[in-house]
């Protein structure tokens, strides 16, 4: 690339300025080339280098998974009512006062357990000699979660027979189960489907959750339970499909998936999942 003009001036000062300008341009281009070379080397290292030496992007989802608590804690909590009051004060000409976000009340339908706190006995005696009387109370609520409880339901079917004759004994019936002759109760199956398809918890992690409570159920058994539940829920799926087809437009998303150990197909072959949404407005 030519930096000098075709018609060069005869003035030594102008020539000197042109040389300085050309040197500055060359220095800037050299710095840019060095920067690009470093970026290319870094990309090659990430693409072809050993996995253990790959650096993690600070904005990558993998790293965000570990510092999620710190990121969310730094974000301000929603405070719609406080902001509305600040706007009203600003319109009235009053200097707004910074307020903390208003805490949302706990749902009223949740069960309440009252824990009454009394003053110690030695603090109930007043300095004048009289005994203090309760004149009011301060109430505050705290959210509590009962850890998951695993129990065993024993179905005891009574057997009756007649002592006066030799008729066959009669055994009491047991309620119909979603999966007959299975260890899983309806509550276990409901939690299995909810944790997998609503909360996105893989089966091997749910297997570890059960193992922490001393229950050893392999993930293969959990997978069979999920497949058997799918057959039981097929009528519900049919009704949802009919509801979907009632709408004028169906939105569809196509996602590639790889299914391992699928009969009659190579493990490297691609499969597709179509997710649809729609229905009446």
Confidence at residue 54, expressed as pLDDT on a 0 to 100 scale: 45
**Mean predicted confidence (pLDDT) in 143-171:** 91
Listed range (13-22, 80-89, 225-234) with the worst mean pLDDT: 80-89
**Mean predicted confidence (pLDDT) in 227-254:** 93
Percent of the chain exceeding pLDDT 70 equals 79
Local confidence band at 86 (pLDDT 50, 70, 90 cut-offs): low
Percent of the chain exceeding pLDDT 90 equals 47
DSSP per residue, 170-220: EE------SSTT-S--HHHHHHHHHHHHTS---HHHHHHHHHHTT----HH
Confidence at residue 27, expressed as pLDDT on a 0 to 100 scale: 87
Residues in CB range of 280: below 8 A, 6 or more apart = 243, 246, 247
Location of structure tokens 């505050």: 140
Confidence at residue 98, expressed as pLDDT on a 0 to 100 scale: 57
Give the integer Cα–Cα distance in Å for 187 and 105. Answer: 29
Q: Is the Cβ–Cβ distance between 270 and 256 less than 8 Å?
A: yes
Q: Facing residues of 159 across strands?
A: 171
Confidence at residue 44, expressed as pLDDT on a 0 to 100 scale: 86
Neighbours of 221 (CB within 10 A): 15
Give pLDDT tens digits for 98-142: 556 677 889 999 999 999 999 999 999 998 989 999 999 999 999
Listed range (14-28, 133-147, 201-215) with the worst mean pLDDT: 14-28
For residue 53, the 8-state DSSP code is G
Q: Write down the mean pLDDT value for the chain.
A: 83
Q: What are the domain boundaries of the chain?
A: 181-232
Evaluate if residue 200 carries a pLDDT over 90.
yes
Local confidence band at 194 (pLDDT 50, 70, 90 cut-offs): very high
Listed range (14-23, 52-61, 110-119, 127-136) with the worst mean pLDDT: 52-61
Evaluate if residue 53 carries a pLDDT over 50.
no
């Amino acid at each position: 690339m030519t930096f000098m003009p075709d018609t060069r001036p005869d003035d030594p000062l102008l020539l000197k300025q042109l040389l300085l300008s050309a040197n500055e341009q060359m220095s800037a281009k050299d710095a840019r080339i060095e920067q690009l070379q470093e970026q290319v080397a870094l990309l090659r290292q990430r693409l072809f280098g050993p996995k253990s030496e790959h650096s993690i992007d600070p904005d990558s989802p993998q790293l965000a998974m570990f510092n999620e608590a710190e990121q969310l804690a730094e974000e301000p909590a929603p405070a719609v009512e406080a902001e509305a009051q600040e706007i009203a004060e600003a319109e009235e000409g009053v200097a707004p006062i910074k307020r903390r976000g208003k805490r949302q009340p706990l749902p009223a339908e949740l069960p309440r357990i009252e824990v009454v706190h009394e003053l110690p006995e030695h603090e109930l005696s007043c300095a004048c000699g009289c005994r203090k009387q309760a004149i009011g109370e301060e109430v505050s609520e705290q959210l509590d979660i009962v850890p998951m409880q695993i129990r065993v339901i024993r179905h005891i079917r009574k057997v009756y027979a007649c002592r006066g004759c030799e008729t066959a004994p009669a055994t009491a019936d047991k309620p119909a189960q979603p999966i007959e002759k299975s260890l899983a109760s309806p509550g276990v199956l409901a939690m299995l489907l909810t944790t997998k398809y609503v909360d996105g918890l893989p089966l091997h992690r749910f297997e570890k959750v059960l193992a922490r409570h001393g229950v050893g159920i392999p993930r293969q058994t959990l997978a069979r339970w999920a497949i058997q539940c799918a057959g039981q829920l097929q009528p519900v799926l049919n009704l949802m499909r009919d509801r979907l087809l009632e709408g004028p437009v169906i939105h569809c998303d196509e996602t590639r998936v790889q299914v391992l150990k699928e009969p009659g197909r190579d493990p490297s072959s691609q499969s597709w999942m179509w997710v649809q949404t729609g229905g009446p407005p």
